[in-house]
A and B are shown apart, each in its own frame.
Chain A
C-alpha cells in the first residue's frame, strides 16, 4: 500500500497547522506568550532535560513559530526547522553550531551583500574565517578546502546577479571533504528549487522575502535535511560530544536525523537569543499559504519584464537566467525549471546618472532596499546599498554605477512595464 504524498500547494496551506486542540480555531493562533506553565515539577524537569517535547519559554520555542518551522521543513523536504529573528540570525546560529574559533568555511563569493559583510566582518570577531570561492569555477571550492574547513555555503539563486550555483557539483565536493553543504534558498524558495534534492545538508532562509512575501515581517529559518552523519565525522562537538549544558547528552545520538535543528534550538538559539516574534511567524505563515500562487505570478511577470527590458534601447545588458542567452540559463533549467526567480539586474547605457533618474521617476515601483514583495521594487545599488564602496568594489559586487535591480511583484504585467517605460522616457 503506498500512501499518497500531498503536493506542494497542499503542504503550503496545511503543513504544520491543525485546528487548535482546545478552541477548534482553524487559523493558527498567535500564542503571544513568553512562557508556559508546567504540569508539575517532574514535567518541568522533563522539558528542561529535553526528555519530552514541549514549550518552556518563547526564546526557545513557541507554538505559532513551530507551525512555521514544520511548514517550511515540509516544503523543503527536511526533517525539522527552526524559526529565528532574521535570515542573518539563521546564519549566525548555523555557523555557531558548526564552527569553533580558528575554523574556516568556504563560501561562494556571489552572495547577498549583507551575507558578504556578515562573513567578512562580524564572523571575524568569532574567529570564524570565510574562504571565498567562485561559483563560475566550481573547482575553486575544492581548492579552498583546508583541514580547518567545517562547511560550504552558497545561495541557490544568488542575489542580486541571478547567478545559479551548480549545487550538485558543490555538494559532491562537500561530501568528499566530509563537511555539510549549506544553501541559502531565499531567492528561489522551495517552490522553484529544493536544494536538499540536490545535496544540501542545511537550508537557510530569509523569510522576509518571498516566503513571507508581503514586505511586512523580518524572519529567518533553518532547515535540517537530516542527511549529514555528525557522528561519523566527529568534528562537530555541538552534535557528537556530550553536552555539559544538558547533563552530558549527545545530541546526534539522542535526536538522530533532526539533531542539527535541535542543536540550533537548544544550544544556539537558547544562548544567543535571536528569537522570532510569534506575531511575525503568524504573518509569514499566512504569506506562505499563497506562496505557489505568488511565485508563479511573479516569475511570469519577471520573464516578461526581463524580455521587455532586454529589448529597450537604453539598456546595455540584462542578467536574468530566465533569458535564453543568459550564461546561467542552462543551470536555471536544471535547478529552477518552473522559473528563474523574480529578481534581476540590468545595466543602463547612461550609467550612474541614468540609474538615479530611473529610480526617481518610477511611480508604481517602490524605491527601497528589499526584495520579494507583492509590490514591484527597484533599487540603484551604487547610490544606496553599495554607496560606501569604491567603484572597483562596486563592480566586483555586481553593483557597478550602471546597475539597477528589480524585484517584480504580482501586479498586472502591463502596468509594471508601462511604469518602466514612462520612467525611462522621462526627460533628463
Chain B
C-alpha cells in the first residue's frame, strides 16, 4: 500500500464503515487539535472513546476516558493515534491484542510509522497515516470548503444533507479534483527532516 497518497474511495470507505473510534492521546483541553477532532467526529455520530492514561476516569464531552485500549468494554472499529510517531508501534501491538480486533489503524496528521503500519497490514488491518479524520470527513463531504479549503474533489451530483444545519453527508459522489503537489512535497520534506 502506498502511504504517500490515498484514493478518496479508500478514505471514504473507511469513514463510512467504522462506527466506533478509540482516540489514543485525546485531550480534554478545548484548544488542543485532538479535542477539535474528537468533538467533530462525535457530532457526526461516531461512538468516540478517549484513551489517555493521565486522565483515566475523567470525561471528554461526556465520554469516559480509559487508560488503555484493553480497558474499553465494547469492540471498537478504528484506533486513531494522536501520539508522536515513535509511540505508534506499541499502540498497534495493543490494538492487535484486542478481541475482536479493530479494522482500521489511523495515524493523525504529522504521524507516520511505517513499521507499525506494516505490522497492522500484515494482520489484515487497513492503515491510514499522516491524515486527520476530521479534515478528511470535511473534505469528502465538502463541509470544509466553507472554510475556503481545496477539497480536491469535483462533482456534478447534488450533495446530500447530513442531518441538521450546515451538515453535509460523506455519501457524495465525486471525482478527484485539483492536486496540491507543492504542499505534499513540502510535507514529505518535513518528514525527512524529522521536524514533526
Contacts and interface: CB of A to CB of B under 8 A. Distances in A.
B179 A77 contact: yes
A19 B159 contact: yes
Contacts of A67: 145
Interface in B29-59: 30-31, 33, 35-36, 39-40, 43
B148 A81 contact: yes
Contacts of A49: 30
Nearest to A250: B31
B138 A74 contact: no
Contacts of B122: none
A358 B195 CA distance: 60
A51 B164 contact: no
Given A14-B156, A247-B31, A256-B109, A63 B146 contact: yes
A250 B149 CA distance: 18
A198 B158 CA distance: 36
Given A19-B158, A66-B145, A75-B178, A51 B168 contact: no
A227 B182 contact: yes
Contact of B161 (A22, A229, A257): A22
Interface stretch (A33-41, A110-118, A150-158, A294-302): A33-41
B40 A18 contact: no
Contacts, number: 180
A79 B165 contact: no
A197 B182 contact: yes
A6 B148 contact: no
Interface in B103-162: 109-110, 132, 135, 138, 142-152, 154-161
Interface residues of A, number: 68
A271 interface: no
B166 A227 contact: no
B188 to A, nearest CB: 11
B135 A256 contact: yes
A39 B150 contact: no
B180 A46 contact: no
Interface string A49-77: 11111110000010100110110011101
B190 interface: yes
Interface string A250-289: 1001101110011001000000000000000000000000
B43 A10 contact: no
A392 interface: no
Given A36-B166, A246-B31, A249-B31, A227 B186 contact: yes
A11 B155 contact: no
B180 A77 contact: yes
Contact of A53 (B110, B146, B158, B187): B146
A77 B178 contact: yes
Nearest to A11: B178
B148 A66 contact: yes
A218 B162 CA distance: 35
B168 to A, nearest CB: 7
A81 B148 CA distance: 5
Given A74-B178, A256-B135, A11 B36 contact: no
Contact of A77 (B30, B168, B181): B181
A254 B158 contact: no
B186 A257 contact: yes
A53 B145 CA distance: 8
A50 B36 contact: yes
A315 B142 CA distance: 54
Nearest to B132: A256
A130 interface: no
Contacts of A11: 154, 177-178
Contacts of B186: 225-229, 257
Contacts of B77: none
Most buried by A among B7, B144, B147: B147
A4 B151 contact: no
B166 to A, nearest CB: 4
Contact of B150 (A73, A232, A253, A254): A73
A373 to B, nearest CB: 26
Contacts of A38: 165
A417 to B, nearest CB: 37
Contacts of A74: 150, 152, 177-178
Contact of B168 (A5, A21, A50): A21
Given A3-B175, A18-B157, A257 B146 contact: no
Given A6-B178, A14-B154, A21-B159, 11 more contacts: A4-B176, A6-B175, A11-B178, A21-B160, A21-B161, A52-B40, A52-B166, A54-B146, A66-B147, A79-B180, A242-B31
Ranked nearest first, the 4 interchain pairs of A and B with the lowest CB-CB distance are A226-B183, A74-B178, A69-B148, A54-B166
28 contacts: A5-B176, A5-B179, A6-B154, A10-B154, A18-B155, A18-B157, A18-B159, A21-B158, A24-B158, A46-B43, A52-B40, A52-B143, A53-B147, A55-B146, A66-B146, A74-B152, A79-B150, A79-B183, A81-B148, A197-B182, A225-B186, A226-B187, A247-B30, A247-B31, A256-B135, A257-B180, A257-B183, A257-B186
Interface of B: 7-8, 30-31, 33, 35-36, 39-40, 43, 109-110, 132, 135, 138, 142-152, 154-161, 164-166, 168, 175-183, 185-187, 190, 195
